[in-house]
Structure 1
Amino acid sequence: MDQQLLIFVTVAERQNFSRAAEELHMTQPSVSQYVQALERSLGTRLLDRNNKYVRLTKAGEIVYHHAKEILHLSARMRNMVDELINVPSGELSIGASYTFGEYVLPHAIARLRETYPLIKPSIIIHNTTEIVELVVKRELDVGIVEGDYRHEKAVFEPFGDDQMYLIVSANHRLAQKPNLSAGDLQGETWIVREKGSGTREATEKMFASLSLSPAHIMEFGSNQIIKESVEAGLGISFLSYYAIRKELLLGTLHLLPYPGIPITRTFSLVTQANALQTKALAVFLDLLRSMDRLT
């Protein structure tokens, strides 16, 4: 059954029997036979196909979604059985929000690979909301996110702190001003992350705590674009120390001192509720928990 599902999923994703056969190292007639056998067992067509395209039917969409989960669970089962008699190994799917994923996670993966070279991590970087959803749908083994996001089907475990700072270009007029007022901050153009990100959540909480409601806001989808925009003098922002430390050393960004800043937030591990852990996942979680500093 796993073989049928794997072949069906590959055809659906490649939208072509020939490309699927090439990827699977099979002949095209063999691929067609497996798909037809799956359709017969389910009593319905799963794919609409002609000379121009291969597309999922409505039934095919249902089977595709569940087949992906079945194949993931099957691989997970095999990994867990294998790990009972061997060292931690196998695939480990990790998702992280942008700040942790871009600036901290690479260091953690390097430590993991040094100790457990047979573990094969794959990484997805997205905003907090999307990472949590992927964990809940079992498309990720673990997520690392920022802020206070919660989901009834996921378990959240705080494991590290992050400090958030106000930043401007080193040449910005506010960089030379010793005593900032709320009016100074209110009148600036603020460059912020998109809704759904942990950094945006932290920014909005900071606005509320400082009683700010800026009229001019520019919204960008990554920390790197925000840093480049701030360096170019387009405005002011609020970012993690991990995201800006290199620019601070280079002198291209400047921290703005202000009462109540920096603000501390928490990084959390996100796992599936009531899910068994592979040994690979367990050692990775232990590694993150034991890091005195995140980098």
Structure 2
Amino acid sequence: MIFDIDFTNMHYTLRQLEVFLAAAHTENITRAAEQLSMSQSAASSALKDLEQQFSIQLFDRIGKRLQINELGRALRPQAQALLDQAIALEQGFRRHDQVGELNIGATLTIGNYLAVDIMAEFINRYPAAKVQLNVANTATISQQVLNFDLDIGLIEGELHHPDLDVTRWREDEMQIFCSANHPLANKTQLSDADLLGAQWILREAGSGTRQAFDRAVNELLPELNIRLELQHTEAIKRAVETGLGIGCLSTLSLQTAFESGRLVPLTAPNRDFKRYFYFILHRQKYRSEGILRWLELCEQS
């Protein structure tokens, strides 16, 4: 197939795309210029020229703030994919660093108990690679992937979004637990009455851990006594250890505490606490060499 495109008269540059994407990310042309190590006037001119060349407007101007409009949002994924491919092509030409930079997002359990080891092995295999790891909850990581702030997300929660590819990675299991001195510590099985009578220390809404817990005890939720909601796994473990209530976290995060006897696992036989971890990528994200190698290593881990 032959495309009748005159590349010598291309009406945009990669630099203009960089400015457009940086402005979409920062919502401010001065911060976009700083991110790209440009002067504010050069960045402003590049964005203005891009819009004028096609007689379009990509942002609504609200004072000094740039708010991307509907057209800008529609074109942003294509611009990002094109720029990603240009970077990958340059790396291919240079031949010395095909993996390049990689921005990974992970939810707390994955980030604290899996992703760091995977990152260490990745850097060991690809010494020239530059990897950044951002740890947050599922809602935050998914939004950052949607905004192209992250190349790939590793999440605990189930997610459905038309712009995201969500791929099952590995199985995990949640575990109810209490302190060694808690009244339930010596109980072999918890009944629904036990679950309703306990005070709970749980992860916050928007986290994959909380999503899995809510699903497992769905019909009990309206009557459940939730004493605290905390954003950090270690804070929940500490609160439970001091006797403030009982918790439910991934078994990955509890093994050391169980072995030391500081915390005690509890069993609720009629509840399904199995869940899965997932990869998420923007559907229009260019699958660079770095992304492919990272996914490959995760599958092997």
- The one-character-per-residue Cα deviations of 1:206-249 (angstroms, maximum 9, x if unpaired) are 2148x675431132333233222212221111110112223233
Q: Cα distance, 1:165 vs. partner?
A: 0.6
Q: Structure 1 stretch 279-288 or stretch 173-182: which is displaced more?
A: 173-182
Following TM superposition, by how much is the alpha carbon of 1:23 offset from its aligned partner in structure 2, in angstroms?
5.9
**2:85 aligns with one of 53, 58, 77:** 77
Which residue of the other structure, out of 247, 253, 256, is the alignment partner of 1:246?
A: 256
Over 3 Å counting, the alpha-carbon distance change for 1:199 and 1:121 in structure 2 is: same
Structure 2: 5+ residue stretches without partners:
1-12
SS in 1 for 2:181: coil
Give the 3-state SS of the residue equivalent to 1:225 in structure 2.
helix
- What residue is the counterpart of 2:276 in the other structure? 266
User: Aligned equivalents of 1:81 and 1:260: distance in 2?
Assistant: 54
In structure 2, the residue matched to 1:2 is 14
Answer yes or no: is 1:279 the counterpart of 2:289: yes
Shift of 1:14: 8.4
Residues 222 and 44 of structure 1, relative CA distance in 2, 3 Å threshold: same
Query: Post-superposition shift, 1:174?
Result: 1.5
Equivalent position to 1:111, from 121, 128, 152: 121
Aligned to 1:162: 172
Q: Does 1:233 align with 2:243?
A: yes
Q: What one-letter code is carried by the residue in structure 1 that aligns with 2:15?
A: Q
* Maintained 8 Å contact 1:165/1:261: no
Q: Which residue of structure 2 lines up, in the alignment, with residue 255 of structure 1?
A: 265
Q: Is the 8 A contact 1:230 1:236 kept in 2?
A: yes
Unmatched segments (≥5 aa) in structure 1: none
TM-score by length of 2: 0.76
What is the one-letter code of the residue matched to 2:225?
H
Q: Root-mean-square deviation (CA), in Å?
A: 3.5
Letter in structure 1 aligned against 2:224: A
Q: Quick one: distance in 2 between partners of 1:38 and 1:69?
A: 16
Please, which of 218, 230, 238 is the counterpart of residue 220 of structure 1? 230
Does the Cα contact within 8 Å between 2:154 and 2:279 map onto a contact in 1?
yes
User: 1:172 is paired with a residue of what secondary structure?
Assistant: coil
Question: Do the aligned residues in 2 keep the contact of 1:79 with 1:89 (CA within 8 Å)?
Answer: no
| 1:135 corresponding residue in structure 2 | 145
The count of residues paired between Structure 1 and Structure 2 equals 284
When residues 149 and 69 of structure 1 are mapped into structure 2, their CA distance, relative to the original with a 3 A threshold, is closer
Give the match's secondary structure for 2:124: helix
1:72 deviation in Å?
Answer: 3.4
Deviation at 1:55, TM superposition (A): 2.8
Alignment of 1:80-95 (within 5 A): 80-82=88-90, 84=92, 86=95, 88-95=98-105
Distance in 1 of aligned mates of 2:260 and 2:178:
14
Contact 2:14–2:83 (Cα < 8 Å) also in 1: no
2 CA distance for matches of 1:196 and 1:31?
36
TM-score by length of 1: 0.77
Indicate the SS of the match to 1:255.
strand
Work out which of the residue numbers 184, 197, 205 in structure 1 matches 2:194. 184
2:155 aligned counterpart, secondary structure = strand
